[in-house]
Structure 1
Amino acid sequence: MTEATAGLDFLHTVEERRIPTFRLDDVAALDCVDLFKIDIQGYEFEVMKNARRTLADTLAVYTEVEFQSVYLGQPLFDRIFALLTEADFILQDIVNQQRLLGKNCHEAMPFLHATRLFWADAGFVKTLGGLTPDRMIRQAAVSHFVFRWFDHAFDMLSACDRAQGSGFSGQYRDLFA
């Protein structure tokens, strides 16, 4: 734990264990991952750093990100953002934002509304470049059914229409009429 967690009595180390791990790229050969969801208490960056082949074939990533260090040596949002941007993802949404008061404020004025962004969940989607029409449709389905990112689903279907002359975006738009 770090200074950022001061005042959060419920956050404390109960036990430390060594657990054998394997790189995701070494475990399975996946030809296309629709959704890569990860929330492993501060180790997300290390997993993604060692899953570059998997990320290359992934359409969407949903991960917990920290803006203040919870665990010692933990990479923060900026490093995850840079890694995923380098892997051709764009940030689509930040949800479930958790905020807290700074240490001094927590002790002096615990009644204040917390405004300091602590952690959240971030959703990233693969950029359009290089996506086949089939993968555009799959990304639209993930955006619609999993995240309710209707605008992104429409954008993917519109791109598919341009690529293959389909009318999916019009049909999708009509669902909301």
Structure 2
Amino acid sequence: MLILLNKPFGALSQFTDKGTQGSPRATLSDYVDVPGVYPAGRLDRDSEGLLLLTDDGRLQARIAHPKFRKPKTYLVQVEGDPTDADLSPLRKGVTLKDGPTRPAEVRRIPTPELWERVPPVRFRKSVPDCWLEITLTEGRNRQVRRMTAHVGLPCLRLVRWSIGEWNVEGIAPGTWRAL
């Protein structure tokens, strides 16, 4: 079984919250009531979009393990108005604290038609922003955010749109579709 979940902003990519915070945080169990499935990879709490869950350990490894280089595409709202030259380092790969990244496919895109985020992204009249489509073939911790920050483009909103051949199109936040 493979489940395509549109993970909402603020939800953890796990079924239980072992945090020490006072109020409970949303987890996958708030959205998926299917026994025996586990996430194939992770998506940060402050990111949203496609998270794949499966009950097949081999499929989980093929999706999540870096050696398989499954492309992951993100729609990213960044602060700033980058030129092609500003995006060039991302296309070549940048060196982060944990080493060099693989080159990413990066392009500016028009504002995508997405669901409203709760809470909404803070809008500032004096600071321009734009949307990028970024495709990676690796998946380090907070990699997209760190890469865009590295080139002076802080991330405002991050939506994982697709992993390999699967995407989140037509799946509302907090809902899922089984394949």
TM range (shorter): under 0.3
Q: Which structure features the higher share of strand residues?
A: 2
TM-score (structure 2 length as normaliser): 0.24
Q: Which structure features the higher share of helix residues?
A: 1
Greater relative CO (CA pairs within 8 A, separation 6+): 2
